[in-house]
Amino acid sequence: MTSSILGPLNGPQKQAVENTEGPLLILAGPGSGKTRVITSRIAYLISEKGIPPSRILAVTFTNKAAREMRERLDMLIGNLSQYVNARTFHAFCASVLRRDGDKIGLDRSFTIYDRDDQVNLIKQVMEIEQLDPRRFTPNNILNAISTAKSQLIDPQMFLQQSSTYIQNVIQASYQRYQELLNRNKSVDFDDLLMLTGKLFSDDPDTLNWYQNHYTYILIDEFQDTNTSQYALTKQLSGKHKNICVVGDPDQSIYSWRNADIRNILSFQQDFPGTKLIKLEENYRSTKNILDAAYKVISTNTNRIERGLHTNNDLGTPIIIEEAYNPDEEAQMLLKEIQRLKELHNYDLNDFAFMYRVNAQSRAVEEGCLRYGIRYNLIGGLRFYQRKEVKDIIAYLRILANPNDEVSLLRIINIPTRGIGQRTIDSLVQFARSEGIPLYSAIQAIADPKLGEEIGDFTSRTSKSLRGFLDIINSLAKTSQTTPVAQIIDQVADITGYRAYLYKDKELGRERWENVQELRSTAMEFDKMAPEESLTSFLEGIGLISDIDNLTENEDAITLITLHQAKGLEFPVVFMIGMEEGLIPHIRSMENPEEVEEERRLAYVGMTRAKERLYMTRSFNRFFRGSSGPTLPSRFLSDIPVEITDRIVKPEPNRIARPTISNISKNNSQPSNNNLPELKTGDKINHSRFGEGIIVSLTASTAGDQEITIAFKGDIGIKKLLLGFAPIEKID
């Protein structure tokens, strides 16, 4: 068995597998076989060390990665793989809380709220707190709450740290948001982590059980952990110390999700006796691609230096190409796809368009539609976010947890059953005034005698509510003994939802097919005990991410953001919009650490390519409400000219434009020696408009230079001629 496990591995990979005791940090470069190392290490522990599979916990960051891990383990150790706990952080924590959450007062039937559910709940909070929606948005408040939770800051701790009006508003919203979550017997994604940590801290016996149960722990993508995940890592490994983490600081790109690169950079200090192993051989990309990516990332300072090498072929040069606008950029690349398909027999799923922001997909999507090219948009309207799917899931959630107010409000009058918005508003108001769950309020009003005593509700309203409760009670009764797929059938029939969909003659059939697809997914849970299948099904779909929806076998071009692309690979990658203001993004310009993360993001995108890499830009782009010329991304100038083909296609009647080939490394443009030496990202002061930051510089038709400046306050973005602009550089 040892030879079959270790045989395919190189020297450092074997070391990573055989060093089983104590803390281990594996720095795994892109395409270095880290998944093979993790699965081989697990197989080695089981087959050679005699460790029971159930004592091994392997944590990943996506369901896709967990699924791939289980598939590879099955090839190595067969049926034993099913006993290894390989899942995401959130899935693991959900299972812990289902088992032991009642020890900290959490109902085991809790609902997991997704982002849409959270937004709906925070809107209720804003209404209760009477917040001005012009000043505060649900997303901003939720982001602040998420940041606090990821740093293990509860509402009481937040209050102690609040010193400004904005902070006080956020704290009050946070407090109210948690109260509503608790009343709804629900949690959000951050709660799964935070509450598990609280459980372990408050109940040492529970922590001791998990420490004894999982004697070997492996965590993938460790550079993406936040404070709460790092704390869980310390808690779980605190007894046996057999903790192996795998990651790459150069691929840390999720600080906006509260990931903290310091976790992996400080691991050796926080876990004394850590063994460090570097995986530096790349098996994915050509030499040219790898060399280009290394030149880009090596400019960063906040990293652990290591070499990257490959025995793969040199490959084709990196294509760096310019188009006039995004539509032309998309068109030229779609034509290139056709050419490559004909010459090299590529399939459509061999190609991926990668971009910094979702809006960039528009031109590519339109081009695909124009030419009849199939594409798969990752991060668009997800299957589980479609209205008919959300409606059915809301019914299922109510059957499992009647206190789920967000789901209840969604379906109380769908299909229409005579419960209008005025009645719903009155129900909500009554529930709040009495301090009871909405479902309890409905039960009270539905009671003929009690409903009349309350006052604002007519007998007709009470009758409609009784009809709704009869439906829910009937479904709830059968849900305890019925597989999930059949429950979906019953929901669709008993509620009249199927007939409701078919009222739309144009889209009814398509929407019903989506419900049937949901039913197909539910059939996977038919083997479970009926009393467990519904909860498990709801938990499973609640933990699905965008990337889990990627269908790898579908013959279609992939359209995906650079952030979503991490962990994937494609024979041909088109990185579009390689411009200052996009990558690096304009929001990062004033913060060197954020610019470094943007560079890591570019590195991630480049290393997704196996055979061919195209990096393109548009000379002119409409972005953030204005249209104008762009500058090439500074990251392009890091790539050695000798491994690139830089293509510029000047056409008549176009404005003279700066090209990638003649842009210097620091994007410096001024040719007039009497003007200050300026570059993108510099801070300036304008005699009239005040302080601002340079967004771009480009040549103008007058031989001068056009400078785009983002000014503070209400001034916004201005385009000026550098020769006439009364500005001075701020050091």
> Pairing relation of β-strands 716-721 and 705-711?
antiparallel
Is 221 among the catalytic positions? yes
- Whose CA is closest to 584, among 637, 537, 548? 637
The secondary structure element, H or E, covering residue 56 is strand 56-60
Read off the tokens for 46: 């089981």
Quick check: is 220 catalytic? Answer: yes
Give the 3-state secondary structure of residue 133. Answer: coil
Of 229, 251, 310, 495, catalytic? 251
Check 100, 117, 188, 220 and give the catalytic one.
220
Answer yes or no: 34 catalytic.
yes
| Cβ-count burial 409-440 (b if 16+ within 10 Å, e if not) | bbbbbbeeeebeeebbebbbebbeeeeebbbe
Where do we find the tokens 């009364």?
Answer: 726
- The continuous run of DSSP H or E covering 319 comes out as strand 318-323
Q: Which among 15, 25, 17 is positioned nearest to 1, based on CA atoms?
A: 17
Q: Which of 15, 20, 35, 299 is catalytic?
A: 35
Cβ atoms 642, 336 nearer than 8 A: no
CA distance linking residue 10 with residue 43, whole number of Å: 17
Structure token pair of residue 193: 């982590």
188, 190, 221, 224: the active-site residue: 221
**135 an active-site residue?**
no
Q: How far is CA 502 from the centre of its chain?
A: 34
Q: Which two tokens stand for residue 718?
A: 């201005």
Task: Check 608, 610, 634, 646 and give the catalytic one.
Answer: 608
Q: How many CB atoms are located within 10 Å of the residue 661 CB? A: 15
From CA 95, how far away is CA 99, in angstroms rounded? 6
Q: Where are the beta strands (DSSP E) in 562-660?
A: 570-575, 609-618, 620-623, 626-629, 644-647
What DSSP character marks residue 585? B
Distances, alpha carbon 706 to alpha carbons 516, 678, 697, in Å: 56, 12, 6
Residue 528 φ/ψ, nearest 5 degrees: -80, 160
Catalytic residue among 34, 55, 356, 646: 34
Check if the beta carbon of residue 61 is closer than 8 Å to that of residue 220. Answer: yes
Please, are residues 403 and 187 in contact by the beta-carbon 8 Å criterion?
A: no
Q: Are 23 and 273 in contact (CB under 8 A)?
A: yes
Going by C-alpha positions, the residue among 435, 528, 514 that lies closest to residue 483 is: 528
Indicate which residues carry an active-site annotation.
34-35, 220-221, 251, 608
